[in-house]
Amino acid sequence: GRPQLAFTSMALGFKLFGLHEWAGRLPLTIWAALGALALFGALSRLVHPRAGLFAAIALATTPLYFVQARTMLGDIVAMSALAIAWSGLSVAVFDDDSPLTTRLAWFLVGGVGLAAGFGSRGALLGVAVPLLAVGLSWGLAQSQGRGGHLFARAVGALAIVGGFAIVVRSFLALRTLGPESDLSPWIGALIHPPAKLPTFDVILAHIGHSCAPWSAFVPFALGRLFWASTWNDRGGAGAIEWRRSVAKTAILLGASIAVVLEGSLYAYTDVTAFTGVALLAAAVGVALFDYERGAHASLVVGLGTLVLAVVLQHDFSTLPEKGFQAFSVLSTQFPEALKPRAGLVWKAVMFGFGLIAVLTFLEQHSDRRTFDSDRYFGMIRSVRLLNGGSLALAYFAVVATTSVAGLAVWIGTRFHVPFVVGLPLNLRERITLAWWAVALAPGAAFFGVLLLCDVWHFVFSGAGALGKRSLVRGLLPIAWLVDRAQTRSREGLSF
């Protein structure tokens, strides 16, 4: 009766395949794959197959999920079980167009997920979270007269009653349990109050660091789910939009309930891996599908994602042990020898993710002509003539000033001028080399942004099936642009 399914799964792997490291990891990997497949199947039926695909990709590439899937810590079973339970119950209750046999099959899938959740993380997080997510969503639909057929009503009502009963019983159990108590099947963790009571944002910091870089986009994805779908009737497009709307509600409620319940346990137990990561991935998948099918996409979403990614990158750079959050390890020291390399990796990942978000939302609905040389040269003319040419004059003045300063420092160093020689060596080197950085950096940044936007728009606006032609598509416009520039130069055209 104790939550030990993860260890039973690992023991089964050792029994079947021998005492090998991969034999213990294999069952956990299978659990992870089943969770991703269940989430894909549910969103494919309730929203759209592409939403399910986006969600599965986001889930499989979230560090908290794939790290736990390949390490013998056992928390992946609880994450996968919640994904399976939520997926099975959601389809059973909300997929009105499917025959009863199909919905019964998904109900059994949800039952398996509930059993696995109870056996891996206890009743509160493993059972109550998916029950309340689906049950409360059904209750909201019922209040609008769309509670579904008898089967959906029965499952929805039982989910509400069962979920609230488990929550009440679990928190009553917290009052009687102590540090010397055994592992509770209601709580699913040993009672070990921290020396210092945690603040409300501990769970948010855990999710942010363990789910990076996706956690930079998750707040905007959750916000997108609040956008109401349009549905007026029971048939046709109205029924499809209703299913999508209720699926969004179930995702929002599930993620919120998981955060609240798991965060409230941190005052009584050690910090454990967040079990609702699949619901966050579902929010990402549905939001990306909405944007893909033409939902209003503001550049603020991309810029906000970039800002959050930079904040997380700063955390990882200053406190690299935050990277261990994916392992649910809080108190440990990061190896000093790995800090420089880890910092470079996190910078590449977080800045790359933020840049992709900005480019995606900047170029999503753009129908302009890409790699138009007139646009490039027109930008140069506009900058040159801005404010009557004062900006160009200021640019040349700064370049001239840095050039003179660099030349003066070089001469002073060559002839051992006391004032110059007394300056720190690194400062002298910076002054000497500053002129070319000041001269080239603005133009490189200006053309780099324009070129990157055009490459991004060109590559993905004509994306097709994966193949040799699609793989080299991003290289073709660069050669074409260089050829256009050389042609204009030979024709004697000025900027």
Q: Which residue, among 281, 344, 312, has the nearest Cα to 62 in the 3D structure?
A: 281
pTM: 0.83
Three-state SS at 382: helix
Task: Give the CB-side neighbour count of residue 307, counting CA atoms within 13 A.
Answer: 8
User: What distance in Å separates the CA atoms of residue 306 and residue 359, rounded to the nearest whole number?
Assistant: 10
DSSP codes joined into one string, 152-169: HHHHHHHHHHHHHHHHHH
In order of 139, 214, 219, 303, 453, the CA distances from 300 in angstroms are 34, 17, 13, 5, 17
User: What distance in Å separates the CA atoms of residue 323 and residue 66, rounded to the nearest whole number?
Assistant: 14
Residues in the chain: 495
Q: Which residue, among 108, 114, 43, has the nearest Cα to 78 in the 3D structure?
A: 114
CB atoms within 10 A of CB 481: 18
> Of all residues in the chain, what percent are helix, strand and coil, respectively (each to 5)?
75, 0, 25
The predicted pLDDT at position 299 comes to 84
Q: Is 86 exposed, middle or buried (0-12, 13-18, 19+ CB in 10 A)?
A: buried
The predicted pLDDT at position 78 comes to 94
The predicted pLDDT at position 354 comes to 92
Q: Are 266 and 202 in contact (CB under 8 A)?
A: yes
Residues with Cβ within 8 Å of residue 370, at least 6 apart in sequence: 454, 457, 458, 461, 477
Q: Which residue, among 257, 294, 288, has the nearest Cα to 274 in the 3D structure?
A: 257
The predicted pLDDT at position 494 comes to 47
The predicted pLDDT at position 495 comes to 43
The predicted pLDDT at position 277 comes to 96
Q: Which residue, among 159, 124, 123, has the nearest Cα to 138 in the 3D structure?
A: 159
The predicted pLDDT at position 471 comes to 55
Tens of pLDDT, residue by residue over 324-381, are: 888 887 777 888 888 888 889 999 999 999 998 988 887 766 666 777 777 777 777 7
Which pLDDT tens digits describe the chain residue by residue (495 residues)? 456 898 999 999 999 999 899 999 999 999 999 999 999 999 999 999 999 999 999 999 999 999 999 888 889 999 999 999 999 999 999 998 889 999 999 999 999 999 999 999 889 999 999 999 999 999 998 888 776 788 999 999 999 999 999 999 999 888 887 766 667 788 888 888 887 888 888 899 999 999 999 999 999 999 999 886 655 544 555 778 888 999 999 999 999 999 999 999 888 888 888 999 999 999 999 999 998 887 777 888 999 999 999 999 999 988 888 888 888 877 778 888 888 888 899 999 999 999 989 888 877 666 667 777 777 777 777 877 777 778 788 888 888 888 888 888 888 888 888 877 788 888 888 888 887 888 888 878 877 877 787 777 777 665 555 555 555 555 565 556 666 666 666 665 544
Q: Which residue, among 4, 84, 50, has the nearest Cα to 275 in the 3D structure?
A: 84
Q: Is the dihedral of CA 169, 174, 178, 183 positive or negative?
A: positive
